[in-house]
Amino acid sequence: METVRKRVAEFSQEAHDLYLNQSVPYLDGPPDPLQFYRDWIAPNKPCILRNAFSHWPALTKWTPDYLREKVGSKVISVAVTPNGYADAVNGARFVMPEERQMSFSSLLDIIEGKVDKGGGVFYIQKQCSNLLQELPELTADLEPQIPWMSTALGKFPDAVNFWLGEENAITSMHKDHYENLYCVVSGEKHFILLPPTDRPFVPYGLYGQAVYHQRDDGEFEVFDQNDSERVPWIPLDPLDPDLERYPQYRQAQPLHCSVKAGEMLYLPSLWFHHVRQSHGCIAVNFWYDMEYDIKYNYFQLLEALCEVTGST
């Protein structure tokens, strides 16, 4: 068993030595679709693109005043947590945010400090194509797809998501089964990335589901969802990793990058990622369904080996 564990770790190191970059490269301008597929999608490597959506009106229009006028009265879903960690492990539970319905203007008032929010951290992070579902009035200020990406993959995006929140709103480490184009409209997003080949060093656990609820006095309670299935999730916080409890993470080789306004991150499918942001950062991301090809089969094998060797 120890031999298998050692070999699995060696596979990860070979990936870093043979094809992975030590930092996230930059590209200038919209790429040729075929070239982008060959250089980045097929090898499953991230990159940051500059000037790839500079023609979007959103880059100049999406000021607080414009957003108030355009969608201020719209009622949207906002995640509220006591500490900024939504959909994250807290103790022995996977805790989800309180989903609060409020007007867009009310959220802007909170972000701009115009009202006393009464505690908690507020973040639009619903996903499931929330831009199209909840804020369709803003779609004229951008594209419903990324044309060269749609051409490269031969498909349209599965979802277009809108993100806006406070500085200490954090997305915990996880992975997605999507090819992700993350476009920062204003502010900055800060990513910690790990390739799928680092799976042996990423701890997982099974956790009962729970949800936050803020009481009238401002304190937060956690309510267990006893009728829900247990969720596999990563308990480690890469900002402050507990290396005594998860010593295997010492072998991980995370990439750190900041994506600024007007820049787009290509985040390949199955890459682990942890996300922070500047205060009031606005972003839109496009999820394209991944191909369940040999890459997926390799990752499934790696998952199984981690379970067999106790590397979870």
In this predicted structure, what is the pLDDT of residue 4? 73
pLDDT in tens, 278-307: 999 999 999 999 999 999 999 999 999 888
Quote the pTM value.
Answer: 0.96
**Model confidence pLDDT, tens digit, residues 79-119:** 999 999 989 999 999 999 999 999 999 999 999 999 988 89
Placement of tokens 């009238």 in the chain: 216
- pLDDT attached to residue 10: 84
User: What residue ranges of the chain have pLDDT lower than 70?
Assistant: 1, 311-312
Q: Note the CATH number of domain 1-24+49-309.
A: 2.60.120.10
CB atoms near residue 116 (< 10 Å): 9
The tokens for 80 are 């509220």
